[in-house]
Structure 1
């Protein structure tokens, strides 16, 4: 079947197969993408769009280069960039108008994607300064879930989740300091992987130190292909790991037998969402049918650890990273952003050490779980909320959304969110696979197999998962 400019899939496999066959060109794809964006009309998923003619010039240059998907892993793939990464000549705002400036240079992370063949279409909306999992803390309009405009898209990589799931780009670059690359993936039925901290250098922004760069994609295989262009050791980055040199993300076959740790029924958190809990029960049954053995554990200690990210002295790290910006224009932050960041100034050095000691105990608890299980499996989020509900009670409901994601970042684990089906009202939920540092490939192999076993379309595109290569 011929690729349709209006509805054709933008997954990596579909586009690259068509490029190799000569039935499609990057220029045709970029024209189609901009037409789709125009049809959607004003869209708060974007803070800035690259002019069509500039993106088309980039596509034409790729076509004239004589290269292709075999030489450039992201050849001709349209992408969105979270608006806390700089692109020279374009605004960077981090979703705060008072902080907006024109970037003089391009972030090295973005430059590596472009060098691998990607075509940047625009910059995506986000929760201000990456502080939020709901997507409503922004001065640029609120992106909404692709399945229901009354509901949140998730954050902080809110716009990125929308544009991938809506079939406007092949992937979106984001970050993950609390679940920012996993929550939007879950709520929009796509894939988000938080790699092991230190695999990808940070570049020039320190606002998210303590986070990981992520990408949002339609498939696990696409996620791996995009992230592998970024994995490397940077000796000038104090948080970059030497082990990143030569490390390759892969999608190995799922094991025939495996053990997966799941929160016990008594310690589960669903905020009263019975439909979300039923989806998680179905996920456990599906994993068991795939050869897994469920190993229940008490989730309460890990939930206590998750709460420490924003409700304890660890928020002082965010304050330290953003102190200059907060002093300059904090009075013009979103009220929730301002309140949370201001709380980081009140902790002492002693408070930070006490919090670190407590976290070390929780991490020991988590590592003991991995002694008896190959992977930990939780919901990505307990539930979802309407945009109106977040306007009513922002900080408290945002905290609920991080119940399962936040501890992963504090413990510097890796985690993958894959789709886990839909509630009866048509809203998506995600399944999260968690492992210790450098267990990425274990998660990716099992997550890809689970995604395929689920058998649902990719995001809101209506397209099934492509047949795996080989």
Structure 2
């Protein structure tokens, strides 16, 4: 197999290294692929070729000297709201530009482990959207069918992995941005428990909801990256004190074998007229049933109510902390749909915010009781996939629909991973999302990996 046709999953890259390919060769090939797509709306910026190759050469020398570099030969990209020293952070809004001197801890850890950054990825502007069309032209296109949305807001990160430009990517996830684009493009999207990965160096939408997800081609690849970037950060006030120990990517002892999985009552689940999507979800559940898993139906209502708090409550006012200045000074620089979403926060009072926090606490307790006795909640990651034309014609309602089964996860402090499911009859990807309690990342990892292996 030539490097030009090499898949960039970790196993294939490591096999190429064993067969004589050098880390420099692998980085050069990944950079070549990214540069060939430079005008496809996937990247906002590429690392200069000479810089990427110089880093690869330095890593190659360190490995030759005996240093352990677990990610040697692997390349990655990051969403353009994560800081990388020396590269502009724009959140896909050129008027909003930060030149950081220090990389986000997650990025720094990956580079220390031997990975080489190729570029920064496009996104729904200010990470406000779940569809991938809220960005400057050219729009990022779905990797499976370019007529369809790539999902957002981490659109470029997911597409870069799905198209084989990089081995993995990082994004951000407030209401589903680490899961929706993964589902739309047929790859894995890992959303960790809040506070397990430092969000320092991330331009935040919400300190309460935000986390850094991983996009990869396989579950083992995604969780290998997760285990490298996770950990307590004393400089991040929202970092969990136990982040170094909980949620390790192994299923807890005694949890082997079939599990009891929660599912929503079928009659309460919207698919927005997409019967193909509904049938794909039923086929995915049939695979789980074939593995011996049992299902317990729970009401969708409390989860849907929690999800509405991401964009339809006073919690949206938190976005004014980061984006209030540019909204006031350069409203014309903001995508109209994004501007509408951010401006909505100004209508809420402090009393509204406290009421929202109280309500979420009640819903969190209610959801915990409903999920007691189950190992995970299993949902279709997205209810449907819209065309770009349909999304542009009805941007607010259709965007909200994309978050039907993702919005509630972070407000309820749950962890999740989405993996490709059985192919839809129309050729579009289907995806199944495994959702677990905070700290139970290992459980959802094992369930998702077992499902993917069938």
TM-score with structure 2 setting the length? 0.95
The 8 Å contact of residues 228 and 248 in structure 1, kept in 2 or not, is answered as no
The 8 Å contact of residues 35 and 46 in structure 2, kept in 1 or not, is answered as no
The 8 Å contact of residues 86 and 103 in structure 1, kept in 2 or not, is answered as yes
The 8 Å contact of residues 73 and 225 in structure 1, kept in 2 or not, is answered as no
**Match in the other structure for 2:44:** 47
CA deviation profile, 1:86-121 (whole Å, cap 9, x unmatched): 222222110111113433332232111111111000
The 8 Å contact of residues 186 and 417 in structure 1, kept in 2 or not, is answered as yes
**Match in the other structure for 1:16:** 14
Q: Report the 3-state secondary structure (helix = DSSP H, G, I; strand = E; otherwise coil) of the residue aligned with 1:339.
A: helix
Q: Report the 3-state secondary structure (helix = DSSP H, G, I; strand = E; otherwise coil) of the residue aligned with 2:27.
A: helix
**Match in the other structure for 1:111:** 108
Q: Does 1:326 align with 2:314?
A: no
Q: Does 1:191 align with 2:192?
A: no
Q: Report the 3-state secondary structure (helix = DSSP H, G, I; strand = E; otherwise coil) of the residue aligned with 1:383.
A: coil
The 8 Å contact of residues 247 and 440 in structure 2, kept in 1 or not, is answered as no
* Cα distance in structure 1, aligned partners of 2:136 and 2:44: 10
* Cα distance in structure 2, aligned partners of 1:251 and 1:192: 17
* Cα distance in structure 2, aligned partners of 1:163 and 1:7: 15
**Match in the other structure for 2:239:** 240
* Cα distance in structure 1, aligned partners of 2:126 and 2:400: 16
TM-score with structure 1 setting the length? 0.92
* Superposition map of 1:396-435 within 5 A: 396-435=397-436
> Gaps (5+ residues) in structure 1?
454-470
* Cα distance in structure 1, aligned partners of 2:261 and 2:67: 36
**Match in the other structure for 2:220:** 221
* Cα distance in structure 2, aligned partners of 1:6 and 1:69: 29
Q: Which has the higher strand share?
A: 1
**Match in the other structure for 2:352:** 351
Offset of 1:31 from its aligned partner? 2.1
**Match in the other structure for 1:303:** 304
Q: Report the 3-state secondary structure (helix = DSSP H, G, I; strand = E; otherwise coil) of the residue aligned with 1:418.
A: strand
Offset of 1:278 from its aligned partner? 0.3
The 8 Å contact of residues 188 and 215 in structure 2, kept in 1 or not, is answered as yes
CA deviation profile, 1:437-460 (whole Å, cap 9, x unmatched): 00100000010111111xxxxxxx
Rate the CA distance shift 1:353–1:38 in 2: closer, same or farther, 3 A: closer
Offset of 1:294 from its aligned partner? 1.1
* Cα distance in structure 2, aligned partners of 1:255 and 1:427: 32
Rate the CA distance shift 1:35–1:201 in 2: closer, same or farther, 3 A: closer
Offset of 1:69 from its aligned partner? 11
Rate the CA distance shift 1:101–1:350 in 2: closer, same or farther, 3 A: closer
**Match in the other structure for 2:134:** 137
The 8 Å contact of residues 382 and 400 in structure 1, kept in 2 or not, is answered as yes
The 8 Å contact of residues 376 and 435 in structure 1, kept in 2 or not, is answered as yes
CA deviation profile, 1:251-293 (whole Å, cap 9, x unmatched): 4498312101111111111111100000110111110111100
The 8 Å contact of residues 265 and 300 in structure 2, kept in 1 or not, is answered as yes
* Superposition map of 1:379-394 within 5 A: 379-394=380-395
Rate the CA distance shift 1:36–1:320 in 2: closer, same or farther, 3 A: closer
Offset of 1:40 from its aligned partner? 4.1
Q: Report the 3-state secondary structure (helix = DSSP H, G, I; strand = E; otherwise coil) of the residue aligned with 1:244.
A: coil
Rate the CA distance shift 1:67–1:449 in 2: closer, same or farther, 3 A: farther
Offset of 1:423 from its aligned partner? 2.1
* Cα distance in structure 2, aligned partners of 1:387 and 1:70: 47
Rate the CA distance shift 1:180–1:348 in 2: closer, same or farther, 3 A: same
Q: Report the 3-state secondary structure (helix = DSSP H, G, I; strand = E; otherwise coil) of the residue aligned with 2:63.
A: coil
Q: Report the 3-state secondary structure (helix = DSSP H, G, I; strand = E; otherwise coil) of the residue aligned with 1:428.
A: coil
The 8 Å contact of residues 95 and 140 in structure 1, kept in 2 or not, is answered as no
**Match in the other structure for 1:250:** 249
Q: Report the 3-state secondary structure (helix = DSSP H, G, I; strand = E; otherwise coil) of the residue aligned with 2:118.
A: strand
**Match in the other structure for 1:277:** 278
* Cα distance in structure 2, aligned partners of 1:130 and 1:40: 22
Rate the CA distance shift 1:378–1:194 in 2: closer, same or farther, 3 A: same
**Match in the other structure for 1:99:** 96
Equivalenced residues, count: 450
> Gaps (5+ residues) in structure 2?
none
